Amino acid sequence: MTRGQALVAGVGGIVLAAAVGFGLGRVTNAPRPPQTSAGQSGRQVLYWYDPMYPAQHFDRPGKSPFMDMQLQPKYAGQASGGAGVQIDPAKIQNLGVRLATVERGTLPSGIAATGMIDFDGRDVAVVQARAAGFVQRVYGHAPADVVGAGAPLADLLIPDWAGAQGEYLAVRRTGDSALIRAARERLQLLGMPPSLIDVVERNGRVRNVVTISAPVGGAIKTLGVRAGMAVTAGQTLAEVTGLSRVWLNAAVPEAMAGQIRLGGSATAKLTAYPGEVFTGRVTAILPQAQAESRTLTARIELPNPRGRLRPGMFADVQFGGAPQPALLVPSEAVIRTGKRTLVMLAQSGGRFQPAEIQTGREADGRTEVRAGLSEGEKVVASGQFLLDSETSLSGLQARPIAGAAPAKAAPALYESRGRVEQITPTSVTLSHEPVPAIGWPAMTMQFRLADPSLAKGVKVGDRVAFGFDQPPAGPTVRRMTPAAP
């Protein structure tokens, strides 16, 4: 080989080596396609999500638009094998999960309430002065004292009776029956009780001091006599309330008051007498509701033969009703969110799913399920709140009640950032970044404001992060906050 040929061959080798190196570099530095369908573990990725906003799904990995954190992949294996979220058995044991079976049973059909014992307002005796006079003596009683029927309360001196009784005795000595009868009627018109007139007839002496006594046994409600005071005819001296019957005033929630019937039975348990049950009947439902507690007062009449039920005592009341069959779950298994009522269903393979239910009555630690569950299903009675948090993070929807209209899904919000170019009370013009979720490039456009308050504190030139949807009226900003530099 000549020297020229060797030189040409060397140059050609260098060129060939350079070409091969350049090709290998292109292959090595070629960008890898984003993992939109499979994760690093080889499992299929359904979507990416922010654990703090699990309902919002993204079609590619990256940073969350809500929080400064990476989106998490949702793998197909996590959703296979049926609805619900699968929890590791060891974790279930650590959470202290306890299951209960949905079963049929009976609940009392009555209503439970609380109440307080009060005096029977119909059994009140009023003691009045029959004539004008003076209080000569009192017998040491005071209001709230319990006295028997006929107990003396005070002695009254009535001067007008002395002259009338003297005339009556004089007429009796004449033997004229017509005059005697007229004189006796005059004594009765003066307010003299027949028993006192009989005493005057038997003894033949004037008695102008009369003892006022309690007409019935019971508690002295009011006592208005003092020694030496003057009284007038018709003046109320005392009021005595009987204790043979008492009222139990029960506070019934307004929503349940329509289930109570007049004449219906009711039972009461008092803390003063544990283990005893007192039975009465509903005699009235008072017409006015208590505005503070939104309750109606049901009046129950209870017999009180031995006077053991005293006004002011507290009682638990159960209005009568035969037990009714119902589908029951433990009350502790029910999760009330304020908008709906849920239970956590336990499924095979360690899976759990929230289920929406409709509840009814509640008693003895059990709650009636009117819709949403079937007999024999298993629900979580302990640890259900932790499981509910896990299902919320996984973005699972609760099983709806059969036959109920499905709830409308909230419109998806598309997130972006931009610069405020113009702002009015009803709209904002933004120069925003691309929105890959809907294929929008970076551009300047006008958005409607869902609420004028979104523009509060925002001025032209500010950079903002915003979320918007696309209703028929046009792109509408639902959320707008200042964006970090």
CATH code, domain with 154: 2.40.50.100
Close Cβ partners of 319 (under 8 Å, ≥ 6 residues apart): 110, 111, 112, 113, 250, 252, 259, 260, 264, 265, 266, 282, 298
pLDDT in the model for residue 25: 47
Scanning the structure block, which residue is given the tokens 């009780």?
A: 193
Q: Is residue 302 part of a domain?
A: no
pLDDT in the model for residue 42: 59
Written as one string, the DSSP assignment of 39-62 is: -TTSPBEEEEEETTEEEEEESS-S
pLDDT in the model for residue 84: 59
Query: CATH number for the domain including 463?
Result: 2.40.50.320
Please check whether residues 139 and 192 belong to one and the same domain. Answer: yes
Give the model confidence (pLDDT) of 31-43 as tens digits.
Answer: 444 444 454 555 6
pLDDT in the model for residue 97: 78
Which has the closest alpha carbon to 211: 135, 142, 149?
Answer: 135
What value does the mean pLDDT take over residues 199-208?
84
What value does the mean pLDDT take over residues 16-45?
49
pLDDT in the model for residue 364: 75
**Boundary residue ending a domain (242, 263, 280):** 242
> What is the count of structural domains for the chain?
3
Burial of 460 (0-12, 13-18, 19+ CB in 10 A): exposed
pLDDT for residue 265 is more than 80 = yes
Q: Is residue 146 part of a domain?
A: yes
Please check whether residues 220 and 329 belong to one and the same domain. Answer: no
pLDDT for residue 292 is more than 80 = yes
pLDDT in the model for residue 29: 44
Q: Is residue 139 part of a domain?
A: yes
DSSP 8-state assignment for residue 401: P
pLDDT in the model for residue 420: 93
Give the model confidence (pLDDT) of 314-350 as tens digits.
Answer: 999 988 766 678 889 998 888 887 778 888 888 877 7
Scanning the structure block, which residue is given the tokens 């903002």?
A: 464
What value does the mean pLDDT take over residues 345-363?
81
Q: Is residue 265 part of a domain?
A: no
Please check whether residues 147 and 238 belong to one and the same domain. Answer: yes
Give the model confidence (pLDDT) of 132-141 as tens digits.
Answer: 889 989 998 8
Q: Which domain holds residue 427?
A: 414-482
Distance of CA 59 to the CA centre of its chain: 43
Q: Is residue 296 part of a domain?
A: no
- The predicted model scores a pTM of 0.47
User: Is the model more confident about 162 or about 152?
Assistant: 152
Give the model confidence (pLDDT) of 465-476 as tens digits.
Answer: 999 988 877 889
Q: Which of 92-106, 189-203, 261-275, 397-411 has the lowest mean pLDDT?
A: 397-411
Q: Is residue 356 part of a domain?
A: yes
Please check whether residues 373 and 420 belong to one and the same domain. Answer: no
Q: Is residue 252 part of a domain?
A: no
Adjacent-strand bridge partners of 271? none
